Structure 1
Amino acid sequence: MAHGQIDHNLSGEKFYLQLIDTSRPWYKNRRLVTLNLWIFLLLITSTANGYDGSMMNGLQILNQWEDAFNHPSGSKLGLLGAIQNIGSLGATPFAPYCADILGRKWTVIFGAGVMVAGTIIQTASQSVSMFIGARFLLGFGLGFAGNAAPMLVTEIAYPTQRAPVASIYNALWPGGAFIASWVTFGSFHINNSWAWRLPSACQAIPSVFQVLLMPWAPESPRWLVSKGREEEALDILAYYHASGNREDPLVQFEFEEIKTAIAEEKIQKQTGWLDLLRTPGMRRRMRIIIALALFSQWSGNGLVSYYLNQVFDTIGITNKTEQLLINAFLNLWSLIMAVLGGAFCDRLGRRTLFLTSTAGMLLFFTLQTIGSSQYALHGNKSAGNAVVAFIFLYSGAYAIAYSPLIVSYTLEVLPFAMRAKGMAAFSLAITASLVFNQYINPLALKAIAWKYYIVYCVWLAFELGYIYLFLVETKNRTLEETALIFDGDTSLVSLTRRAAINAGVEAGSGNGADESKSADEKGAEATVRSLTSEEDEGN
C-alpha cells in the first residue's frame, strides 16, 4: 500500500492512488490479470455487434447472398439491415429489469444464449423470411447482453483502470467489423451458399464463449450490495483488487463508498422510468445521453457502416474485391483509433475528445461531399479517389470519441439505481435512430445520391455546437463520485471523506473538513454552479 498520510481533500482517482500499491504493475498481479480476462469476455459483446454490421455490409457485395435472396433492394434491403435493431428494440423494456433483478452476469448469459440460437437459424436460412426472423432473434438477445455487459465491466473493473477499460467496450465494435470484413473477403471465393453461411456461423463464436464461461465470472459488487449481499460483494472486491485481503485500505474504501452511495440512492427512492426525468440532475444526464446516442448514428457513419458498397458505386469503385479490401482496412483503421481514444480518455478528457471528434467529422464529411459531387458532375476520377481518403479520415475522427466513449460516459454519469434503465433509454435512442437510418439511407442514396450527404454536413455542425454547450467533463473521478456533479452536491469530496472515515483510512495530516477547500473541490463547485445556472436558464 501507499505509505504516509492520507489527504481527504483529494477526489476521484487521486484519492485512490494514495491507497494503491504502485510497486508492482497490474500485469504481474495474477488476480488482476484474471479480472481483466473476465472483462475481455464481456467486451466481446460489442465485437459481436460490430461483426453484424460489417457482415451485412460484406454480404451485400457477395453475389451468392444476393442470388439466394433474390437481389433485395429498397425497403426490403432496409428491413434486412434494420431488423436486428428492431429485435434490440423489442428487448429494451425487459433488459433493465432482468439486469436489476437477476444480476448483470446472468443477463449477459441469457442474451448470449438467445444470440447463439439466432445465429444457428440465420446460418441455416432457406428463405429471406427465415433470415429476417433469425436476425430479429439476434437483436433481441443482443438487447439483453448489450445492456448488462458494459455495466458489469464498469462495476467490476479495478478503479484506476475503469475508464479506459469501459471505453474499450464500445471501441471493439470496429474490431468485430474488421473480423467480419476479412471473413466475408475470404468467403467471397466460395462458389456456393457457404460464401454467406460461413460468415453467419462465425457470428456465434463470442456468444458461445460467454454461455460456456460466464457462469464462473464475478458478479457486480454494486449489484450485490444493492441486494443486501454485502459479504459477497466484499469478497469479490478483496479477491480481485487486493489478492484476497478484506482489510486492504483500497478494498475497504471502495466497499464503504459503494455502500454509502447506494444507501443514499435508496433514500431518494428513484427506481421507475419517470425518475429518469424527475430531478434536474437526471434531466441533465438524459439531455446529454440521448444526444450522444443520436449523434453516434446520425453523423453520416451509417452510410459507411451499412451501405458502403452503395457509397462506392457513387464514386465509380465497382470492383467487388476492391470494395471488400477497402472495407477491411477501413475497419482496422477505425479499431486502432477507437482503442487509442479509449486508452487516453482520462488523460485528454471527454470534452476534448468529443469536440475534436465532431469537428473532424464535420471537416472530412464536407470534403467527402465535395469530392463525391465532383465525381458525379464531372466524372473526375481523382475526386473519387479523394473521397476514399476522406472516408478514412472521417472514420478515424469518429472513432476517437464516439466509438469508445458513448457507452462508458453514459454508464459513469448514471447513479447505480438508474443505471440499467438509463442504459436501456440510451440503447433505445440508438436503436430507434439506427432503424430510421437503415430504412432511409438506401432510399435517399438511390434517389439523390451524393446530395444526401449535405443533410449530414448541416447536422454535424449542429452536433458540434451542442457538444460545446452541454457536455460535462467527468475525467479522473470515481464511479460513485461522478453522480454528484450532476446532482448539485457542492462538496464532491464529501462522499470520499465519509467512505474513507468508515473504512478507517482517516487523514493524518490534519486536513479536516473545516480547513480550506482543495483545488479539486473548488473546481467541482464551479462545475456544479455552471450546471445549476444552466438548468435555471432552461426552466
Structure 2
Amino acid sequence: MLQRSRTGTWMPAWVPQSTVTLAFCLMFCSMVQSATGGYDGSMLNGLNILPSYTDYFNLNAATTGLNTASVFIGGALGPIFSGIVSDRYGRRPAIFWGSVITLLGVLLQTAAQNIAMFVIARIILGFGAALSGIAGGVYLSETFPSRWRAWGVGLLNDFYYVGALIAAGITLGTGQWNSTWAWRLPSLLQGVFSLLCIIILPFIPESPRWLVHEGFFDEARIAVAQTNSNGDISDPISIVIYKEIVDTLDWEKRECRTMSPMEMIKTPVARKRLLIGMSPGPFSCIAGNIIASYYLGSELDTAGITNTLSQLKANVVLNVWCLGCCLAGTQLAARWGRKSTALLSQSLLIACLFIIGGLSKMYADNPDGASQSLVYGDVAVMFLFQGFYSIAWTPLLYLYPPEVMNYSIRANGLAVSAFMLNALALVFVFIMPIGLANIGWKMYMVNGSWDIVILGLIAYYWVETKGRTLEEIDALFEGEKHSSVPDVELVRTGKADFDINALERNEVEMESTKMKEN
C-alpha cells in the first residue's frame, strides 16, 4: 500500500507504509547510484584493452589517460554545486537532476566521434554522477534509521562492483565485435542505472532532517515514522528520533550555524569534523586501487598476463571477488565499527603493495625466465589487494563522512570529500599509465609508503560512530548531545524510559512558538 507523502519540494512521493519495504526501496536507490561509478571504471578497464576502442581514437599513453581521467574533471566540478543544490532545493531533486545530467553525458559518450567529444561527454557524465552521488550520500545517511545505516549507506558504494561486474561481462561479450559498437554499446548501457534511479525517486520520502530545517515539521515527523515504525507517528522510537532531530537543528540555528560553505571552517570543531569527514575521499584514492580499477590490463602486463581475452576474464573475476569483500566489509563496519574496519583494511593494503612490488620486480628483471608460480602469485596478490581495499574503503567512502559532519556542514562537507577524491583521481588516473610505463614496479612501492602515513592518521584522528544516530554523534565532537531524550538504542533495547506524553506536549509548545515567531 502506497501513501501520498508531502515532501516540501516540487517532487511528490507515494511511500510504502511498510518500513521494511521502504528500506528496500532506499537500498535500491543506493544500489543504482553506486552502480554507475562501478560500471564506468570497469567499462574503461575493458575498453582500454579493446583494439576497436584504442584504434578508433588512435590512443597513446597520454590520450588514454585523458579519455579515462576526464570523468574526474566533471567529478571535481560537481561537488562545487552539489552541496548548495541539495541544501537549497532538497535531497531528492538534487539526485533527480544529477541523474538527468548523467544520462545526457552517457548519450554523448556513446555518440562520440573523436577524442574531444568523448572527453566532453565524460566531463558531463562525471558532473552528473557527482551531483547525484553526493546528494544521495547525504540523503541516505539522513533517512535511514541508525540500526540499518551502515548497510543502507554502505551499499551506496558497495554496488560499485555490481556495476563493474555488469560492465566487465558486457565488454567481454562485445570485445570480439569488429565494429565501434564493441565500445559504444557498453557506453550506452551505462545510462540504465540513472534511469532506474529516476524511476525509484517517487516512492521514497524526503530527508526528515532537511524537512525539519526547512520548517516542514509535520512532513518530517511522518517521514521519520515511515522509515522507523511503519508510519506510526506515536511509536516511541519515532518520537525519540524526531525529538533528537528537532532539538539538534534548533540548537544549530540558535548557535547561528548557517548552510554557507564558510560554516565548514568557521570554528575549530567544524574544521575538525570537516578534516576527519572528508578524509575517506583522498585516503581511498591514494590507497592504490586506481591501478587495478582503471588500468588492470597494464597491471597484468607487469605480472606477465598479456593476452587480451585473459585480461577481460580477469576483470570479471576481480569484480566478483571485490563485491563479496565489500559486502563482508559492510557487515564488519556495522558490527565491529568504522575505524576498526579501516585500520584492518589499510594494514592489509600496505602488506599487499610491497609484495606486489617485489614480485613485479622479479618478473621485470627476467620476464623470459619467470616461472608460472611467480606470475600467478603476483596476480593472486593483486586480487587480494583489491579485495582488502573493498573491505573498508568501498562502504566507508560515503558512509563515514556524513556521519562525522553535522547538518549545517554535511552536504558541503561531503562535497569537499568528493571534490578531493575526484581531484586526486584526475591526477592519478592520468599519470598512472605514464608511471607504469616508466617506473613499473616502483609505483607499488610509492603507494605502499603513502598508505603507511594514512594508517597513522586514521589511528590517531578518526572517531568511532557505530551505533549512534547522526545527532548523538555530536557528543563526540561538541562534548554533549543537544537533546534531552535518551539515546535511541537505549530506548529500543528497553534500557531507558521516558514520558511520551510530556514529549508530545513539549513538541506542540515548540511548534506553536515557532509559528508565532514566523
TM range (shorter): 0.7 to 0.9
In 2, the alpha carbon distance for the partners of 1:499 and 1:431 equals 36
Aligned letter for 1:256? Answer: K
In 1, the alpha carbon distance for the partners of 2:270 and 2:54 equals 47
In 2, the alpha carbon distance for the partners of 1:508 and 1:128 equals 64
Aligned letter for 1:387? Answer: D
In 1, the alpha carbon distance for the partners of 2:80 and 2:360 equals 41
Deviations 1:82-115 (A, max 9, x none): 1111012122221111101110001000000011
Q: 2:219 aligns with which of 232, 255, 277?
A: 232
Deviations 1:170-227 (A, max 9, x none): 1222222111111111111222111101110110001112223313421111101110
In 1, the alpha carbon distance for the partners of 2:248 and 2:488 equals 9
Match of 2:451 in 1: 460
Match of 2:40 in 1: 52
Match of 1:252 in 2: 239
Task: Give 1:34 deviation, angstroms.
Answer: 2.9
Aligned letter for 2:260? Answer: G
Match of 1:534 in 2: none
In 2, the alpha carbon distance for the partners of 1:499 and 1:449 equals 52
Task: Give 1:494 deviation, angstroms.
Answer: 5.5
In 2, the alpha carbon distance for the partners of 1:483 and 1:43 equals 28
Deviations 1:259-309 (A, max 9, x none): 011111112223322321222222222232343221101111111111111
Change (3 A) 1:398 1:185: same
Task: Give 1:508 deviation, angstroms.
Answer: 5.3
Task: Give 1:495 deviation, angstroms.
Answer: 4.5
Instruction: Tell me the TM-score normalized by structure 1.
Output: 0.85
What percent identity do the matched residue pairs reach? 34
Match of 1:450 in 2: 441
Aligned letter for 1:140? Answer: F
Q: How does 1:336-351 map to 2 (within 5 A)?
A: 336-351=324-339
RMSD: 2.2
Deviations 1:450-494 (A, max 9, x none): 1222211211111222221112111111111112211233xx495
Q: Secondary structure at the match of 1:244?
A: coil
- Choose 475-484 or 267-276, whichever is displaced more: 267-276
Match of 1:242 in 2: 229
Does residue 146 (structure 1) correspond to residue 137 (structure 2)? The answer is no
Deviations 1:356-414 (A, max 9, x none): 10110001111111110000012223322211100111111111111111211101111
In 1, the alpha carbon distance for the partners of 2:203 and 2:358 equals 53
Q: How does 1:18-33 map to 2 (within 5 A)?
A: 30-33=18-21
In 1, the alpha carbon distance for the partners of 2:276 and 2:157 equals 18
Task: Give 1:29 deviation, angstroms.
Answer: 8.6
Aligned letter for 1:276? Answer: M
Match of 2:95 in 1: 108
Aligned letter for 2:188? Answer: A
In 2, the alpha carbon distance for the partners of 1:34 and 1:283 equals 35
Q: How does 1:202-351 map to 2 (within 5 A)?
A: 202-270=189-257, 271-351=259-339
In 1, the alpha carbon distance for the partners of 2:267 and 2:415 equals 18
Match of 1:434 in 2: 425
Count of residue pairs the alignment pairs up: 477
Structure 1 runs, 4 residues or longer, greater than 3 Å off: 28-31, 492-500, 505-510
Match of 1:12 in 2: none
Match of 1:537 in 2: none
In 1, the alpha carbon distance for the partners of 2:197 and 2:498 equals 48
In 1, the alpha carbon distance for the partners of 2:483 and 2:141 equals 22
Q: 1:474 aligns with which of 460, 465, 476?
A: 465
Q: 1:194 aligns with which of 178, 181, 185?
A: 181
Aligned letter for 1:123? Answer: T
Match of 1:383 in 2: 374
Match of 2:124 in 1: 137
Match of 2:152 in 1: 165
Match of 2:162 in 1: 175
In 2, the alpha carbon distance for the partners of 1:467 and 1:111 equals 32
In 2, the alpha carbon distance for the partners of 1:342 and 1:311 equals 27
- Confirm or deny: 8 A CA contact 2:30 2:153 kept in the other structure: no
